[in-house]
């Protein structure tokens, strides 16, 4: 991809830079080298830092130093960024495929798109899109792609709830004799429910606390290993405390809900029947 400027406005994330970031783009625009996307490095099995690469040009093989490796999610096959003047000199190609327009703050992008489409109507077959529309379309496709994942999460939650319910029923019914003795020496049904909720709540809390580091490890494996091998790029991991608190809360609430039915059955069981249970 031949470019004549930094279309990211200085916000492009880099995985590796040869030298100082402040002098990167001046050197790049001066034709001192090229930049590689992270998927390009992964697909071509290049080392970090990458060595100079050789490309076949119209005048024969040419070697270009690599100035930086940047994060990119537009192509899983990889992208090579080159200064447009260098590209034109080696390939004699003056065509322009894509152009980015930066509007002033408060400008109406929709009105400008209409004006440009009217100006080029019947002359050039061009596609004009605003970053807002591209972002909305991308998020729509992204959300639709993960709809099945959300459904699978719900199914997994239901299955896990049933498993917890079965385990609690087995555990609490095995303690029917013990709890029957407690009731015989004065424990009320309300105290029984309170005891059951404390026990199941602690069980859910401990399970949630143990699941948090396990989930972090699985997320790291997915992002740093599986995702890189599948697509060639690395996603940035951000830990949100709200997600951890919500997961812990779900674990506690699920355990409390699963413990209600065993507590109800034990509460309805007569003391004589409970004491006779072994």
Which two three-digit tokens encode residue 25? Answer: 């783009």
pLDDT interval class at 165 (50, 70, 90)? confident
- What is the separation, in whole angstroms, between the first and last Cα of the chain? 76
Model confidence, pTM? 0.62
Among 11-15, 47-51, 258-262, name the one with the lowest average pLDDT: 11-15
pLDDT on residue 119: 79
Question: What is the model's pLDDT at position 10?
Answer: 64
Neighbours of 56 (CB within 10 A): 10
pLDDT value for 108: 81
User: Rounded CA gap, 80 and 63, in Å?
Assistant: 13
Cβ-based neighbour number of residue 251 at 10 Å: 23
For residue 235, the 8-state DSSP code is P
Q: What residues have CB less than 8 Å from 160, skipping those under 6 apart? A: 254
Choose the most confident range, by mean pLDDT, from 52-66, 151-165, 178-192.
52-66
Residues in contact with 173: Cβ distance below 8 Å, sequence separation at least 6, in sequence order: 262, 265, 266, 277
Mean pLDDT value across the chain: 82
Q: What is the pLDDT of residues 232-272, one digit of tens each?
A: 777 778 888 888 898 889 888 888 888 888 888 878 777 77
């Amino acid at each position: 991809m031949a470019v004549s400027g930094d279309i990211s406005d200085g916000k492009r994330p880099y995985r590796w830079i040869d030298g100082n970031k402040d002098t990167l783009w001046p050197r790049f625009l001066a034709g001192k080298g090229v930049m590689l996307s992270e998927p390009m490095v992964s697909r071509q099995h290049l080392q970090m830092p990458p060595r100079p690469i050789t490309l076949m040009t119209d005048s024969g093989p040419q070697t270009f130093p690599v100035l930086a490796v940047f994060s990119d999610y537009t192509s899983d096959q990889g992208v090579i960024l080159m200064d447009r003047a260098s590209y034109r000199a080696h390939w004699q190609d003056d065509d322009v495929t894509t152009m980015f327009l930066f509007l002033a703050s408060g400008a109406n992008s929709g009105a400008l798109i209409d004006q440009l489409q009217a100006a080029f109507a019947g002359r050039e077959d061009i596609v004009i899109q605003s970053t807002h529309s591209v972002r909305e379309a991308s998020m729509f496709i992204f959300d639709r792609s993960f709809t099945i994942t959300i459904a699978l999460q719900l199914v997994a939650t239901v299955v896990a709830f049933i498993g917890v319910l079965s385990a609690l029923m087995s555990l609490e019914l095995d303690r029917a004799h013990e709890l029957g003795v407690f009731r015989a020496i004065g424990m009320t049904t309300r105290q029984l429910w309170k005891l059951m909720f404390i026990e199941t709540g602690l069980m859910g809390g401990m399970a949630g606390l143990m699941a948090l580091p396990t989930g972090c490890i699985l997320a790291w494996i997915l992002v740093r290993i599986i995702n890189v091998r599948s697509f060639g790029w690395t996603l940035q991991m951000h830990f949100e405390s709200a997600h951890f608190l919500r997961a812990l809360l779900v674990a506690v609430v699920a355990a409390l809900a699963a413990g209600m039915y065993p507590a109800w059955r034990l509460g309805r069981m007569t003391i004589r029947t409970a004491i006779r249970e072994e």
